[in-house]
Each structure stands twice: as C-alpha cells, then as structure tokens.
A and B are shown apart, each in its own frame.
Chain A
Amino acid sequence: MSLFRNIVFTAVIAGLLSGLLMTVIQHFSTVPLILQAETYERAAPEAGHGHSHDAAPAAGAASPAAEHHHDEEAWAPADGFERFIYTAAADMLSAVGFGLVLIAIAEALGGFNGWRRGLMFGIAGFLTVSLAPGLGLPPELPGMPAAELGSRQVWWISTAACTAIGLGLIGYTRSAVLAALAIVLLVAPHLIGAPLPPTHETDVPIELHARFVNAVYATNLVFWAVLGTLTAVVREKFRAGEDIAARPAAGLASR
C-alpha cells in the first residue's frame, strides 16, 4: 500500500501546485476570452434558452449556435469571485487526476528517475490530452456550434488513448513493426475524423476564436511541463516504505 499512498500524496502536491499555476495563467489568458465570447452568446437570445443539452441536436437545425446555454433551473457559480474559486477547484482537481495517471504510467514504464524524464512525460501528456484531440476538435468558445456532445467525447477519449499508446510504443519499444503500429495509432483518429457540427455559423468572431486556441495551447503546454516536472521531483522525495531493492538500481545510477 505504501506505493499507492506515496503516489497519491505526490499527485496531490504536484496537482495542487500546477493546478494553481494554471488557474493564474488562465485568469489572464483563456478566461477573458471565454467571458468575451459569452457576450456574443447572450446577444443571440432566441438561440440560447429553453432546451436541455439532450434536446440540442433536434433544435440544432433551427438554431446552430444554441448548443451552449446556462439553464435557468441549474445552479451555476455567480460571475466574479465565486466563479473563479470553482474554476480554481476544478483546475486543481483535474491536475491531481492527470498527475495520478501520469505517475501510474511512468512507474509502470520504469519510473521518472529525475526531473528530465518527468518533463518529457509532461510534454507527452500535452500531446496526448491537448494537442492530439485539439487537431480534430479545436478548443471551443461558448456560443460556437459543435456536434452532439456524446460523440465528441467518445472521439476525444479514443484519440487521447490512441495517442498515449502510440507515444508509449515509440518511446519504450525498439521494434520497427511496433513503431509502424504507433504511427497508425497516432494518425488513425484523424483519418476517421472528429464529429463535425452541421454548420459552422456563429456570432463569435473568428479572430477571437483564433486567439483563444493559441491561449489554450500555450496555457496547457506550460501546465503539463510544470505538472510533469513537479511530479518527478516530488516523487523522488516520497518513497517511504517502498522496497528499495525493487527499485531498478541501474536506472538510479544512470542519472
């Protein structure tokens, strides 16, 4: 159990710190653009209210920009400080979750063995979770048209899984056949293609969306690099109770 406890402890520390940093960066990069986009969303009221998310595809033909709305009945944090606090909490929680998965994969593949491999795992996380799914489903602003949520989530998760396995095969195997399989896994989701909205018409200016896409990628790249490096550094500090003999001695020596 000490391994599980140490990993959870590491992920919580690294996740809270990197999630907090991400919240601060987002506050100046992505969130202002989201708020700006919401003004366009609210400016088209006939498209925005009344139907639930599940009913969106049916209404989509009549009002393509209607996918996003804030239901009157459902609770939502008040704009301003409350919204910031919930965003910060969700950021840190996601970061802890990403950290747990990152450490589990790294440990299964022989451990971090220093901050440098942690940084590389972080970059791999960015490629897997941000860039690869973003090639098919670019970061969306509120008020932008999109295909049905369920099918996009399936494509997103499949793409992330294929990319993770592909990167793992490239990094941790030495066979040409497996490398070829890795390329297939990396490319296949994009050949199949992400679910597209029926129309691309939106009130959100394309210039605003372009700035948002840039801000999302830049923010996530910094976040993943920090998360990967921090998990590797903190992981080295907390090894209490783990069997020292089980550690690959050669890996430690090579550092």
Chain B
Amino acid sequence: MVTNSAASAVSVSASKIIPLGMTALLGLFIVGFVGFSHLEVVHNAAHDTRHSLAFPCH
C-alpha cells in the first residue's frame, strides 16, 4: 500500500499538474488575502480570525 502511493506520487500525470497547480494557487491567494493582507479594512474585518489562527497580526 505504501509503495503504491509512493509510486503514484512520483508519477503525477501531466494532465493533473495544471489543475492541481491552479487549485493550490487559488487556495494560497485566499489564505493570503484573509490572513496576510496589509489593507487596514481587511485586517479589521478578519481581526479575530487572524488572532485565533495565530497568523502574525498588527
């Protein structure tokens, strides 16, 4: 089982790279906007979320 998953991890088919890459980028963009944006308004709206998720704040 373990070797199977390791083998399939190595051979990520080329057709999957683009959708998976886009997915990861979209997710990072969302987290970056909510958690790391320096915009004062975004900071204030997401204030308690940032503190509760232990993001660097202020």
A216 is contacted by which of B35, B36, B52 (Cβ under 8 Å)?
Answer: B52
Rounded to whole angstroms, the CA-CA distance of A167 and B33 in the bound complex is 25
Number of interface residues of B (CB under 8 A): 44
Cβ of A8 within 8 Å of any chain B Cβ, yes or no, is: yes
| Chain B residues with a Cβ under 8 A of chain A | 1, 4-6, 8-9, 12-13, 15-16, 19-24, 26-31, 33-36, 38, 40-41, 44-58
Cβ of A193 within 8 Å of any chain B Cβ, yes or no, is: no
Using CB atoms, name the residue of chain B closest to A97: B30
Residues of B contacting A152 in the complex (Cβ-Cβ under 8 angstroms):
56
Rounded to whole angstroms, the CA-CA distance of A67 and B38 in the bound complex is 14
Rounded to whole angstroms, the CA-CA distance of A89 and B34 in the bound complex is 10
Cβ of A183 within 8 Å of any chain B Cβ, yes or no, is: no
Q: Is the CB of A251 within 8 A of B4?
A: yes
Q: Is the CB of A104 within 8 A of B44?
A: no
Q: Is the CB of B12 within 8 A of A108?
A: yes
Given contacts A7-B20, A76-B44, 19 further A-B contacts (CB under 8 A): A34-B51, A53-B58, A68-B58, A76-B45, A90-B49, A93-B30, A96-B30, A97-B28, A100-B23, A101-B23, A101-B24, A108-B12, A113-B5, A133-B54, A139-B52, A146-B57, A216-B51, A248-B8, A251-B1
Residues of A contacting B8 in the complex (Cβ-Cβ under 8 angstroms):
110-111, 248, 251
Given contacts A107-B20, A251-B8, contact A71 B48 (CB under 8 A): no
CB distance from A61 to the nearest CB of B (A): 17
Given contacts A100-B27, A174-B6, A254-B1, contact A77 B44 (CB under 8 A): yes
